[in-house]
Amino acid sequence: MSTTNSLTIVVDSCDRYDSVPYQFKAVAEEWSRNGGRVSVVDRPDATLDGDLVIAHVDLTVVPETYRRAFAGHRRVLNAAVTDISKRRISRNLITSPDQWDGPVIIKTDLNHGGWPELDRFRERGLAARALGKLVRRAPWQVTGMLSAAHYPVFAHPRDVPWFVWRHPRLVVEKLRPEKRGDLYCLRQHIFLGDRAIDTILYARHPVVKAGNIVRRETLDGPPPEILALRREFGFDFGKFDYAISDGEVVVYDVNRTPSFGDDPEGRERHTARVLTPGLAAFL
């Protein structure tokens, strides 16, 4: 693929874009190798003059200042995806112990445990940085901030501590896993425009994360329900985590700034080669 078009990546000033192995960085590098021009801006008041712009703000809710900036450009990928909080996206939430008779999992309403929002808060000054340090040391029961690798799982909603139901930063979801033999399954749909990579990951724990994957396989594509949700939520680029439990598609998470969580070597270049041509659909 050859191109001379320019691509502008808009990040938040507190994003660790240079150090985090974001998947779109691999796409941008492939775009550049093929002759395209790439620029990264971290201010909502920056001039967005690229042929194509992507909203790559790593926050659960995109600040209004960025939304106004995106409204002034005619080609902004993911401009419509302004809120990916669990209360906005999840179809598996319960709000009381009598709504579900089965296992449940506690998650944060904010994406990625709310840690990107904490980093942004700490930029407000010395007092905010000091408070941020205290928050990082405080127990999750107080802060409502969890590592995705340590989401608590309970056999029944009645086992969930009372304060969780009232905590504004925490949500309770039905735990609806997919299993093959003694392994739990997580399906991933990573996409950019009309290009996608579909895989299924296996682990011995019901919460399948990068650190506990024992095997991965390639899938032919996603079920139609996932494509329908992409359209409903307005996604142009991103990653959907889901399972097929009792014959039903169950979405666990959606992410508009996905990163390579484990051993990205090899997968980075493959991801870039598969997804980058998807940019052409927007030009």
Assess if residue 85 is contained within a domain: no
Any idea what the CATH number is for the domain that residue 271 is in?
3.30.470.20
86, part of any domain = no
End position of a domain, from candidates 146, 174, 202: 174
Spatial distance between the Cα atoms of 84 and 88, rounded to a whole number of angstroms = 6
Per the domain annotation, does 265 fall within a domain?
A: yes
Predicted local distance difference test score (pLDDT) of residue 141: 78
**Is 152:43 a contact under the CB 8 Å cutoff?**
no
Rounded Cα distance between 98 and 94, Å, is 9
Does residue 153 sit in the same domain as residue 207? Answer: no
Contacts (Cβ under 8 Å, ≥6 apart) of 40 = 8, 9, 10, 11, 17
Residue 138 structural domain: 93-174
pLDDT, tens digit, 9 for 90 and up, residues 217-241: 999 999 999 999 999 999 999 999 9
Give the residue with greater pLDDT, 161 vs 1. Answer: 161
116 lies in some domain: yes
> 208 and 264: one domain?
yes
Helices (H), 224-266: 224-233
Give CA 149 to chain center in angstroms. Answer: 14
Query: What letter would DSSP give residue 258?
Result: -
Q: What is the pLDDT of residues 76-90, one digit of tens each?
A: 999 999 999 999 999
Rg over alpha carbons for the chain, rounded to the nearest Å, is: 19
CA distance 124 to 165: 30
pLDDT at residue number 44: 84
Tell me if the pTM is above 0.85: yes
Question: Predicted confidence band at 1 (pLDDT cuts at 50, 70, 90)?
Answer: very low
Of 174, 201, 222, which residue is a domain's last?
Answer: 174
Q: Is residue 1 part of a domain?
A: no
Question: For the chain, how many structural domains are there in total?
Answer: 3
Give the pLDDT confidence score for residue 228 in this predicted structure.
Answer: 97
Q: End of a domain among 51, 77, 103? A: 77
Longest dimension (CA), the chain: 59
237 domain residue, yes or no: yes
pLDDT for residue 137 is more than 80? no
